[in-house]
Each structure stands twice: as structure tokens, then as C-alpha cells.
């Protein structure tokens, strides 16, 4: 019989929690869609908001360690199976949660100032660029992209204890209804992205950064660069 999308990962469980980390394990789907399972996509959600964010894609194991969880929050996890036909229609959701307890250690949680830049020029106030911060997910939306938007984009988080910076190079070439964007994001991804006018190009970064004395929780869990 022909291949089809697989069923969800089975028996997803939080097996261990330590510090700001959680070990999540699961079993392969009961239905592989008549094709070999090629990987898994893992997402997390804070119990208070239940907004899901991807933490791993194309994971080849039936377990993963999710790091940089926020103290005092409780998390659910869900896992999609993947084969040659794509991701499962439904995920397997964890039967239990990862509760990251508050500790007696002195932490400073200082909300940072966020600055987006294009070729080192601050984009604040520019109506072409829409900046959002939703539950620590930073998004820069580029309206009506064109080759003139090719540049090095920088996202900087600053507070009184320090700063965190992430950069990516975006080259936009208009071609009929498509935008071809060769992107380079140090360490995280390098390659070609084919972006339709109505789709998005995402970059992920987790700069939970530290100084010598204090932990600085910037709450930047994801950076996205999108087109509209």
C-alpha cells in the first residue's frame, strides 16, 4: 500500500527535571504510515498560556532534553512523528508536566529593552518594519519585501547588567510570486530558503545570557523574521 502520514508519537512523558531542563521521552507511533519514521518535532507550552513553540525539528531519537525553561513555570510537551509524507496530523501530548521550581538562589529578572537593526541602523519608528514581543517570542515583520531589504539584521536585548545580540544575513531576490532568500544564521542555520509572499521565514535563538554575578533572564526564547 502507498505511504501516508504517520500517527502521533506514543506515550509522551516527562521523565526527569533538573535545574531549568527537562528530559522528555516517547515511543514510536503505532501507525508509521507504511513508511520509515525519519524524525520527530518537539514543542513546549507554558501551562499558563498554552502557546506552543517548537524546540526541536527532525529529532532522530525518541527522547530529548529541553533546556532554558523559566523558573516558576510549568510546561507541557507534544511530539509530532515524521516520515517521507510529512508530519503526523496530530501530536502526542505529554501525560505529565515539567514544573520548574523557584529556588532560594538570588536571581534578577530584569525586562530588557529590545532593539532591531538593519545594517546597524535602528529600525524603531520605521513603519515598514513591525516589531512584536509575545511571551518572549520576538518577531520582526517586513512589509512588502523587495531586494532593497537585503541586509544584515540584528536583534539586541539590553538591560543594566549586559546585552545579548543575534544577527542574520538576508538576501532577497524577487522572482515572479516567489522570494528567494539565501540566509546565514551563525551556528543555527545556513542555506537557501524559498519564501512565498504569504509565508514566513523563521530564525530561532535562545539568548538566556549570564554575567559573572547575576543571571539575566531576558525571556527571549524565539526570534522570527517574517514577510507580509
The pLDDT tens digits of the residues spanning 71-123 come to 889 999 999 999 999 999 999 999 999 999 887 555 555 677 889 999 999 99
Helices vs. strands in the chain: H and E counts, helices first: 0, 20
Strands 86-87 and 189-196: unpaired
| 0.95 exceeded by pTM | no
Q: 196: which strand partners?
A: 178
**Domains in the chain and their CATH numbers?**
13-100 (2.60.40.10), 113-224 (2.60.40.10)
pLDDT digits (tens, 9 = 90+) for 12-32: 999 999 888 999 999 999 999
pLDDT at 216 over 80: no
By DSSP bridging, strand 173-175 and strand 178-185 are antiparallel
How much of the chain is helix, strand and coil, in % rounded to 5? 0, 55, 45
* pLDDT at 39 > cutoff 90: yes
On average, the pLDDT of the chain sits at 76
The mean pLDDT of 126-151, rounded to a whole number, is 82
Contact 88, 6 (CB under 8 A): yes
pLDDT at 162: 79
Amino acid at each position: 500500500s502507498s505511504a501516508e502520514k504517520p500517527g502521533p508519537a506514543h506515550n509522551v512523558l516527562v521523565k526527569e527535571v533538573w535545574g531549568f531542563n527537562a528530559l522528555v521521552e516517547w515511543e514510536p507511533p503505532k501507525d508509521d504510515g507504511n513508511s520509515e519514521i525519519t524524525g520527530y518535532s518537539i514543542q513546549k507550552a507554558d501551562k499558563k498560556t498554552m502557546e506552543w513553540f517548537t524546540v526541536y525539528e527532525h529529532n532522530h531519537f525518541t527522547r530529548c532534553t529541553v533546556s532554558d525553561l523559566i523558573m516558576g513555570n510549568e510546561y507541557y510537551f507534544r511530539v509530532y512523528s515524521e516520515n517521507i509524507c510529512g508530519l503526523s496530523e496530530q501530536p502526542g501530548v505529554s501525560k505529565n508536566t515539567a514544573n520548574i521550581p523557584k529556588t532560594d538562589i538570588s536571581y534578577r529578572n530584569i525586562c530588557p529593552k529590545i532593539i532591531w537593526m538593519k545594517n546597524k541602523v535602528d529600525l524603531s519608528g520605521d513603519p515598514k518594519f513591525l516589531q512584536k514581543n509575545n511571551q518572549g517570542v520576538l518577531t520582526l515583520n517586513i512589509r512588502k519585501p523587495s531586494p532593497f531589504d537585503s541586509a544584515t539584521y540584528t536583534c539586541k536585548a539590553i538591560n543594566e547588567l549586559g546585552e545579548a545580540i543575534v544577527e542574520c544575513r538576508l538576501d532577497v531576490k524577487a522572482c515572479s510570486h516567489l522570494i528567494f532568500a539565501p540566509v546565514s544564521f551563525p551556528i543555527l542555520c545556513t542555506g537557501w530558503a524559498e519564501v512565498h509572499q504569504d509565508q514566513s521565514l523563521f530564525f530561532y535563538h535562545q539568548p538566556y545570557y549570564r554575567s559573572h554575578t547575576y543571571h539575566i533572564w531576558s525571556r527571549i526564547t524565539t526570534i522570527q523574521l517574517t514577510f507580509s
